[in-house]
Amino acid sequence: MLSILIPVYNTSVTELVSRIRGMLEFVDIDYEIRIADDASTNEISKAENQALTKNQNCYYHALTINKGRTATRQFLAENAQYNNLLFFDADVMPLRENFLEVILEYVGKASVVFGGVAYPEKPTDKTQFLRYYYGKSREAKSAAVRNKKPYLSLISQHVLIEKSVFLACNPAEENAYGLDIYFSYSLQKRNVSVLHIDNPTIHFGLETNAQYLLKTQEGLLTMVNLEKAEKLPDDFRPLQHLASTLKKIGIQKQVVKIIKKQESQIVKNLCSIKPNLCLFDLYRLCYYLKLKQDA
């Protein structure tokens, strides 16, 4: 028994649902597909998603207030009929035709199962090169690599998870970008079993370079706010470890000054067709350290 849950905002998931329904023909399970629209403003995508209810076991929920992906996922989980939840983001697509068959083999073998993320062979839009190369280099890892650090390697673009675990760990009261880190830490704190397999979805919804830099800032602010609220330790991710080390030896302010002097050139590179991810690491470190100084 499986509840397939898709939060959406101004995005049509007609193709995604069609692919999923095609896969369901080859598995013998009770299932439902639930789509929750987080108060979209795009009437075309809303109409297309609502029309999916003509399909068997497919339900559409239109939320009247925009609350963000985390709260929308919470709504979907609370309304799900079954204990096994399979979340999909609206901007992904299973890479292989047997995606559903493969992931169902792991039901009951771990509380959380993640198949990984893939990206198209080549970027198609030069304004999205930073997000593309970051995803390709840092996120698209094999299961063998991801299982070495199961909590830090979890990306919730798609995830199979037990309902009780999700409801216990999802930060439903928060509405901010970058809450995956809180979700991962909650899983680790509860010692929830997480299994990584090689069964990816392709991530198509890439932000522009400028949008991704802004989201990066938002994600780092979320991390600092979680630390301040004592909901996240300050050593969970490698970036936090590095910042703590710099603070211990008393050079964090000097590091910020050095990087800030080159910030315009760094941003210029990151918005080019050949972004340097080492410079992106410096950009993130500088912004995080500055937030910590101002906190």
- Tell me the domains of the chain and their CATH numbers: 2-203 (3.90.550.10), 209-294 (no CATH)
226 strand-pairing partners: none
Question: Does the predicted model carry a pTM greater than 0.85?
Answer: yes
Q: Are 168 and 60 in contact (CB under 8 A)?
A: no
Q: List pLDDT tens digits, range 29-50.
A: 999 999 999 999 999 999 999 9
Alpha-carbon distance 144 to 195, whole Å? 10
pLDDT band of residue 54 (cuts 50, 70, 90) is: very high
Q: List pLDDT tens digits, range 114-166.
A: 999 999 988 888 999 999 999 999 999 999 999 999 999 999 899 999 999 99
Q: Which residues neighbour 7 within 8 Å (Cβ) at sequence distance 6 or greater? A: 35, 36, 38, 69, 72, 73, 76, 87, 89, 90
Q: List pLDDT tens digits, range 214-249.
A: 999 999 999 999 999 999 999 999 999 999 999 999
Q: Are 129 and 209 in contact (CB under 8 A)?
A: yes
For residue 293, count CB atoms less than 10 angstroms from its CB and return exposed for 0-12, middle for 13-18, buried for 19 or more.
exposed
Q: Are 33 and 57 in contact (CB under 8 A)?
A: yes
Q: List pLDDT tens digits, range 162-188.
A: 999 999 999 877 778 889 999 999 999
So what's the pLDDT on residue 295?
64
Q: Which residues neighbour 242 within 8 Å (Cβ) at sequence distance 6 or greater? A: 285
Residue 161, helix vs strand vs coil: strand
